[in-house]
Amino acid sequence: MSIALAPPPSTLIDAHGRAIRYLRISVTDRCDLRCRYCMSEQMTFLPRSQVLSLEEIAVIAERFVARGVNKIRLSGGEPLVRRDVGELVRRLGAMVGRPGGLDELTMTTNGTRLAEHAPTLIAAGMRRVNVSLDSLDADRFRFITRHGDVAQVIGGIRAARDAGLRVKINMVALKGLNEDEIGGMLSWCADEDLDLSLIETMPLGAVDEDRVDRFLPLTRVFEDLSTRFPLVRDTHRSGGPARYWRVEGTNTRLGLISPLTANFCDGCNRVRLTTEGKLYMCLGHDDQVDLKAALRDGGLAAVDAAIDVGLREKPARHDFRIEAGAAPAVARHMSVTGG
């Protein structure tokens, strides 16, 4: 596409003085799984005519980099179900390590297609991926995802690791569903030379269960793990909200992402671009600006102006609450905004 050039304006600072250095991009709202805490069983996805083209995603991403973003994460839905996503990865990967470019390009995936795509990701400059995996038990994994095959995902994880990608497992801690597997997951990650991040379930979008029944505070989880594993505090920062520990004697890091029990909004450095071009300043708020309309109607100058509007509206913190019968914090599902 032909885009009118515009000089890069100022770097990205929100109304609370936080520098925005991290852009998460949902390349599709579609997914080949239907995880119970993320989606309803019957989902209505965006028509293809409403989503950004891969070229438009690249142009917007490059504009953010020109304004100081140094880390991009591709997500979904499931990013690897989008046809030709490898072309986008290669274009964004060309900015990694370049002066004024990206420090890192990463991806969050469910792993079902990772074995096929791992060589493309590593060749494009990606060095790390996150894989969502909430159970190692085949029957339980199928129940959580509604139809997934855990062996296929584990095969993808090992293929990615063997190709040279550092793999971090993302596990949503779910009371009464997988809490008895968390210790085993950490042991497996240590054996497989993988990292593990535990995540509290978040009230995003209507699902078929009451999230209060599944909410498991990570404070309680960590107390249990610290009696079973030699955990030492690690100063590692990935650019996201996780706090890290290392399993002593291994290369495995344990990260905790606790949006409800340990609010991390004061250090928020990220914004999210949806597959239909909406820029959300916060996962837990509905405030957004339409970068697709700005790009198509006014080019890069209009994109810059819309980003500036969004930054002024970025809230100080999210309003997540887990209460019996309470409506979700926002109506949109996580797959719309991107993980």
Domains identified in the chain, total number: 1
Q: Is 168 annotated as a binding residue?
A: yes
Q: Is 166 annotated as a binding residue?
A: no
Q: Is 150 annotated as a binding residue?
A: no
Examine the pLDDT at 207 and tell me if it is beyond 70.
Answer: no
Backbone region of residue 145 per phi and psi (left: phi > 0; alpha: psi in -120 to 50; beta: other values)? alpha
Q: Is 39 annotated as a binding residue?
A: no
Backbone region of residue 293 per phi and psi (left: phi > 0; alpha: psi in -120 to 50; beta: other values)? alpha
Tokens of 160: 């990615």
Q: Indicate whether 12 belongs to any domain.
A: no
Q: Is 24 annotated as a binding residue?
A: yes
pLDDT, tens only, 256-265:
988 666 566 7
CB 128 within 8 A of CB 109: no
CA trace torsion 292, 294, 296, 301 (10° rounding): -130
Edge-to-edge strands of the sheet including 270-273?
231-234, 243-247, 253-257, 195-200, 166-173, 128-132, 104-109, 71-75, 22-26, 270-273, 278-280, 288-290
The residues near 120 (Cβ < 8 Å, ≥ 6 apart) are: 86, 89, 90
Q: Is 10 annotated as a binding residue?
A: no
Report, as an integer, the average pLDDT of 170-190.
Answer: 96
Q: Indicate whether 14 belongs to any domain.
A: no
Pairwise pLDDT comparison (290 vs 318), residue with the higher score: 290
Q: Is 31 annotated as a binding residue?
A: yes
Q: Indicate whether 40 belongs to any domain.
A: yes
Q: Is 233 annotated as a binding residue?
A: no
Q: Indicate whether 17 belongs to any domain.
A: no
pLDDT, tens only, 70-80:
999 999 999 99
Range of the domain at 258: 22-337
CB 89 within 8 A of CB 75: no
Nearest to 189 by CA among 251, 240, 107, 280: 251
Q: Is 35 annotated as a binding residue?
A: yes
Q: Indicate whether 11 belongs to any domain.
A: no
Report, as an integer, the average pLDDT of 185-204.
Answer: 91
Q: Is 272 annotated as a binding residue?
A: yes
CB 60 within 8 A of CB 291: yes
pTM for the full model? 0.88
Pairing of strands 104-109, 195-200: unpaired
Question: CATH code at 211?
Answer: 3.20.20.70
Q: Indicate whether 3 belongs to any domain.
A: no
Give percent above pLDDT 90 in the chain: 70
Q: Indicate whether 71 belongs to any domain.
A: yes
Q: Indicate whether 8 belongs to any domain.
A: no
